[in-house]
Structure 1
Amino acid sequence: MILVSACLCGINCRYDGGNSLNKDILRLFKEGKVIPVCPEQLGGLETPREPHEILQGTGETVLDGKDKVASVKEKDSTENFVKGAYETLKIAQSCDAKAAILKAKSPSCGVGVIYDGSFTGNKKHGNGVTAELLIKNGIKVYTEENFNDKNF
């Protein structure tokens, strides 16, 4: 089984109340090959919600307790992001997921590149909190920008 960011299946769970529908991922969902998850909702955040970014580091530094995830209005939501990451990991483990396709650049789901914490659209190298935790637990993580649906 494969985990996938719920927003990529057309589920309105993005911070702005919308989705990021990807037709190839929706097809995988309709074929029963993926399980949609939204780590931010699993962590207790509402939809819609203020935009959030990892302030200085990456998902790794957040998981290590050395950094925070905060909203554009400086609300500390680190606990929600960490809780959502662990809830997502529980789901992955319960369905024996070996891979995940997550939303690019997200503070939860980004892989390789995330927003830099300045809320200006600038990016930096790193993973989101959930992506980092899944990778540390042996799950192969892709984004909608780099997965190859032929492999699934």
Structure 2
Amino acid sequence: MKTKILVSACLMGHKVRYNGSEKAAISDTLHRWQREQRLVTHCPELAAGLSIPRLPAEIVDGSGTEVMADQARILESDGSDVTAHYQLAAWLALRAAQEGKCSAALLTDGSPTCGSEQIYDGTFSGQKRRGMGVAAALLREHGIQVFSDNQLAELIAWVEERDNDSV
């Protein structure tokens, strides 16, 4: 069976980011995987009912794991607490991955939802720090390999190795 991958909708060219933009990372490999029906394209934030556009949001005093344990919050730039929306987004991403039989995810780094290597530091100053967003943390906790959009080469190698092992 071919490896299936949950992929952030913005990386596939959908204009679903907080500012209504996309972050298309379409490569020849992603096009091929899409044709092979390996990709489950999903935007956790849109699935959770967040609007486009929406205010920037950042994790304050923690990372995705702490947010999911109610030990940290996600605030919008105006100070509004949107933690519950982002927690729902994480659970919906996990459900999409599980229903799609995904063993990996390719997510947009920096996001309070999808960041897997870095997230913004919670000060709305444009500074990033090491950490994971809520969906990345929850997916990883449930055994799904998470790759950032900066790790496409690593994901390709991981999928090829997995596919070769199953032949």
- Residue among 13, 21, 44 paired with 1:18: 21
| 1:142 and 2:134 correspond | no
Q: Distance in 1 between matches of 2:87 and 2:129?
A: 20
| 1:77 and 2:82 correspond | yes
Task: Determine the structure 1 residue equivalent to 2:8.
Answer: 5
Q: Distance in 2 between matches of 1:99 and 1:114?
A: 20
Q: Distance in 2 between matches of 1:9 and 1:26?
A: 9
Alignment of structure 1 residues 58-137 onto 2, 5 Å: 58-137=63-142
Contact 2:117 2:148 in 1 (8 A): no
| 1:38 and 2:43 correspond | yes
What are the ranges of 5 or more consecutive residues in structure 1 without an aligned counterpart? none
What are the ranges of 5 or more consecutive residues in structure 2 without an aligned counterpart? 160-167
- Report Cα offsets for 1:108-148 as digits up to 9, x if no partner: 00012111001111111110000000000000000110122
Normalising by structure 1, we get a TM-score of 0.94
Q: Distance in 1 between matches of 2:74 and 2:60?
A: 6
Q: Distance in 1 between matches of 2:103 and 2:30?
A: 19
Q: Distance in 2 between matches of 1:88 and 1:124?
A: 23
Amino acid at match of 1:17: G
Task: Determine the structure 2 residue equivalent to 1:49.
Answer: 54
Q: Distance in 2 between matches of 1:146 and 1:22?
A: 11
Q: Would you tell me which structure has more helix in proportion to its own residues?
A: 2
CA RMSD across the alignment: 1.3
SS of match in other structure, 1:147: helix
Regions of 4+ moved over 6 Å: none
Q: Which has the larger radius of gyration?
A: 2
Amino acid at match of 1:108: T
Post-superposition shift, 1:71? 0.5
- Count of matched residue positions in the alignment of Structure 1 and Structure 2: 152
Q: Distance in 2 between matches of 1:145 and 1:66?
A: 28
Contact 1:100 1:142 in 2 (8 A): yes
Post-superposition shift, 1:26? 4.8
The percent identity for this pair of structures is 36
Q: Distance in 1 between matches of 2:59 and 2:142?
A: 21
SS of match in other structure, 1:141: strand
